[in-house]
Chain A
């Protein structure tokens, strides 16, 4: 097991991400952030908070559970308990920033995009992640990446965030 990012690193990465995001999205009236359960929700909240602080403006935020959109139901791998999807703002014609902790095969983002498109018709969807560990299985692209790392499929990248982890933020990597 190896710690690849500590609390300080993560704080810095999020600050950088926020800067890039603010730079891209000029019209925050037509902007919304959606976090993917569970870590994506925590990160989305942190990002929104920072933007609100810096721009003094309330940001629309929603939470997405992709369990019902998974493509591996019945294979009994990595089953998550479904959580509620809560998007209480109008998606139509908005620029949506989809936030998750790690991008890997691309299947989660695919499922998330599918669900968002069923809820409404945003003007655009972009993806922000803390870690891009490569090994994509679908043509999915994350525009905002905190840190890129090279991994092998037998490795596990785990993001521990203080919202659910007593020891604070860290990212670890280990072989399965």
Chain B
């Protein structure tokens, strides 16, 4: 039996900082929240009176909506601050913006930022609980958690599963959070993409992770394929010659799906570039759990908000 008392974090900045047991506590806690979704009233009063500020410096539909829904289903109040409407454009610094939210007594600040480490800056400068909703290409812990939750829900376990993370790993915070979480839960992770999209010295951080440039080899006997979005906006120079060539080498299509196990799960953090990294027939196939990922995302975020609310006095990362 998992004991929530063992989860003693005030902030969620990345899965790097969580133990295997702490990750499992979040996954278990998400289950009763998911159960709520079958009720007509999907709301519980758990965080009544608390407030959650959603500070988004980067456009995001699903993550922001998912956090907002999670907070609202816990009866917390939410405020949205997006870069287009806030004083950020007038040149206010990140710390000043966060201090303002702190002064308004936001219990949680959920931050999405173009640059890695922005959530750390907040955690060091304000007293609110900070939840990283994706920073640069560092981490996106709730996405990693919901991916793992979805895999576990379908496969019953994580240990010893062959999980392929496919595509633009270099620029992917989703890949990093998946890597930390999956390796802590002892999955066999394979990274697949062109050498130019594999982060430097990744093998020094995850010595048991396999790197395979060839897609066909990588997905052989795979239990799970997590397909990453090609992040055109982050590339400073051409890391692959053309979208056409990328799609030919690494695009996931029906033919290639046959190489993996019959019951392989297809995950994608969204938004999808259909026809580039994933074809429509794969995205909409029976193997695809992309929509379940979205549903589970709300439950995971509720679990995270709930667990962090138990530890507002902790100072751990």
Contacts and interface: CB of A to CB of B under 8 A. Distances in A.
Contacts of B35: 84-86
Interface stretch (A3-11, A23-31, A47-55, A66-74): A66-74
Contacts of B309: 73-74
Interface stretch (B44-52, B60-68, B81-89): B44-52
B1 interface: yes
B45 A114 contact: yes
Contacts of A67: 32, 46
Nearest to B314: A76
A74 B41 contact: no
A69 B45 contact: yes
Interface residue tally of chain A, by bracket? 20 to 34
A165 interface: no
A36 B315 CA distance: 34
Contacts of B221: none
B44 A74 contact: no
A72 B29 CA distance: 18
Contact of A74 (B32, B43, B74, B310): B310
B45 A81 contact: no
A68 B46 contact: yes
Interface string B1-25: 1111100000000000000000001
Nearest to A70: B46
Interface in A116-174: 118-119
A119 B2 contact: no
A68 B310 contact: no
Interface in A34-72: 65, 67-70
A83 interface: yes
A88 to B, nearest CB: 10
B99 interface: no
B39 interface: yes
A83 B74 CA distance: 16
A160 to B, nearest CB: 16
B31 interface: yes
B46 A69 contact: yes
B310 A81 contact: no
Contacts of A118: 39, 41, 43-44
A83 B44 contact: no
Given A68-B32, A73-B310, A79 B43 contact: no
B31 A76 contact: no
Contacts of A68: 32-33, 44-46, 74, 306
B28 A81 contact: yes
A80 interface: yes
Contacts of A115: 44
Contacts of B3: 81
A82 B36 CA distance: 12
Nearest to B50: A74
Nearest to A82: B32
B39 A119 contact: yes
A98 B32 CA distance: 20
Nearest to B46: A68
Contacts of B247: none
Given A76-B311, A114-B45, A81 B1 contact: yes
Given A73-B46, A76-B311, A81 B31 contact: no
Contacts of B32: 65, 67-68, 82-85
A82 B4 contact: yes
Contacts of B45: 68-69, 114
Interface of A: 65, 67-70, 73-74, 76, 79-86, 114-115, 118-119
- Which 9 residue pairs across A and B have the least CB separation, nearest first? A68-B44, A68-B46, A118-B41, A84-B32, A81-B4, A82-B32, A84-B35, A74-B309, A79-B4
Interface of B: 1-5, 25, 28-29, 31-33, 35-36, 39, 41, 43-47, 74, 306, 309-313
15 contacts: A67-B32, A68-B33, A68-B44, A68-B46, A69-B45, A69-B46, A73-B47, A73-B306, A74-B310, A81-B2, A81-B4, A84-B35, A85-B32, A118-B39, A118-B41
